[in-house]
Amino acid sequence: MQIEIKNISKNFKKKAVLRDITLTVEQGKCIGILGANGCGKSTLLSILAGVQPGNSGSFLCDGVDLLKDARKRAQLVGYVPQGTPLIEELTAWDNLLLWYDRAALKKELESGVLQLLGIGDFLKVPVSKMSGGMKKRLSIGCAMAKKPPILLLDEPTAALDLACKQHISEYLQHYKNSGGILLLTTHDVMELSLCDAWYIIRDGVLTPFQYDGDVGKLVESL
């Protein structure tokens, strides 16, 4: 499996936010998308997830354009936005039941993705009383309900403590090792180390970047 992002463009009024974004990602690879705030990183992921339309372009998986096939996209693509796509009044368990049937939910809590994410530790906690790390882990768990082979993450560990960052990074490494395709936006050094290739969006254009661990060089390039 591979995905091909071809000529994705997006304009807001007269401003071109994304200009012919093109990228190919192979199975078992993680791509990091970097750039200054407001450069279009989140817009790109939301277009690929079908949350908002682009002005042009395609998102191909084995020849199928996922931007035109919502059913196939729902089967193949998991999306974790920056915000919290959870119902605040409900517990973790009740939020998960919106995505999993009971048998699958119990199985995943015992030995699957939800166990790896440590969600069993806070099943009865309402979202409104969760820490940022709990919310993010739960969001990822919900996104993985259909076991999608493609996962889009918008700054998944932003503003979290080191323990939560480590927990999520370990799961993402497991997902990648299992053959999943990861596309994430990030500024986080721990997440950058997960990536097999890095790209920067500047003035709407996506260009490759060689990250060698030099954070100062990275900052200068943004």
Do 156 and 80 contact (CB within 8 A), yes or no?
yes
- Each residue of 158-197: pLDDT tens digit? 878 888 888 888 899 999 999 999 999 987 777 888 999 9
- Tokens 């994430």, residue located: 184
Quote the CA–CA distance of 3 and 119 in Å, as a whole number: 30
* The residue type at 153: L
Quote the CA–CA distance of 123 and 135 in Å, as a whole number: 11
Residue 221 confidence (pLDDT) = 65
pTM of the model: 0.92
Residue 149 confidence (pLDDT) = 97
Residue 215 confidence (pLDDT) = 62
pLDDT band at residue 38 using 50, 70 and 90 as cut-offs: confident
Quote the CA–CA distance of 147 and 116 in Å, as a whole number: 14
- Tokens 């999943």, residue located: 180
Q: What are phi and psi of 167, to 5 degrees?
A: -60, -45
Question: Which class would CATH give 2-85+147-221?
Answer: alpha beta
- Each residue of 112-140: pLDDT tens digit? 999 999 999 999 999 999 999 999 999 99
Average pLDDT, the chain: 92
Structure tokens at 20: 């012919």
Residue 131 confidence (pLDDT) = 92
